[in-house]
Amino acid sequence: MKNYIFDLYNTLIDVKTDEHCKKAWTPVGEYFAAHGIKTDEKRLCYEFDRYWKLFNERAAAEHKFLFPECDCVTQFESMARSVGGRLSREAATEALRIFRRASIERLTPFDGARALLDELKAMGKNVYLLSNAQAAFTYDEIKECGLDGAFDGMLISSEHGCRKPDPAYFGRLFDKYGLEKNESVMIGDDRTSDIEGANRFGIASVWVPGGAAAHRDEILDTTEQ
């Protein structure tokens, strides 16, 4: 194989979050209050879920993508309006980042993840990232976890309106970087998003529960294919 396409979370970065706990929403409520918007964590959590459901209903009605992706900055802008206030896009982006930081219980690169990417690069392989994630915080987390500069190209789903396992999302990566299907393999921990997504699109895949580094030998076996 020539092109190695990696998922990010729970493939290269070990992450655990709780998006419905009080701890995640309390600082968001404080941020809203600092912008003159009076609300509380229960209402914010409710509006978060309500908007997510509404987004998916509208996206399904549009029939644009099989698996649409929400831009959560827009979601936070809408949440502010729902509770009687207004946030600029810049402020909504910061609110999302505050929420993300507060919701994280664990965020750390898997041991050997960067070494695996560097090893593939040293062998003359191309390394790409195809992640279901939010650009507002994902680029920062890539850097925080020491993975910046490791990829020849990256796509983050919130910037494209669709997500894995949608073939359209895979197609955007292949079109942008001129990849060939018979030269490419998808590596990820999620059987639906990563493995079934790769199958839908017509490329090889390696399932890596527990992270890619734990499956180094299996991944490197594909370099001869």
Provide the edge-to-edge strand list for the sheet that holds 204-207: 153-156, 126-131, 3-6, 184-188, 204-207
In this prediction, residues 9-33 reach a mean pLDDT of 97
Q: What is the pTM of this model?
A: 0.96
**pLDDT higher than threshold 90 for residue 183:** yes
**pLDDT higher than threshold 90 for residue 224:** no
**Contact yes or no for 140/123 (Cβ under 8 A):** no
Of 149, 157, 150, give the one whose Cα is nearest residue 127: 150
Residue 123 has phi, psi (to 5 degrees) of: -85, 0
Give per-residue burial for 186-201: e unless 16+ CB within 10 Å, then b: bbbbbeebbbebbeeb
Residue 13 has phi, psi (to 5 degrees) of: -115, 125
- Give the pLDDT confidence of 71-110 residue by residue, as tens digits: 999 999 999 999 999 999 999 999 999 999 999 999 999 9
**pLDDT higher than threshold 90 for residue 225:** no
In this prediction, residues 200-219 reach a mean pLDDT of 98
**Contact yes or no for 117/145 (Cβ under 8 A):** no
**pLDDT higher than threshold 90 for residue 27:** yes
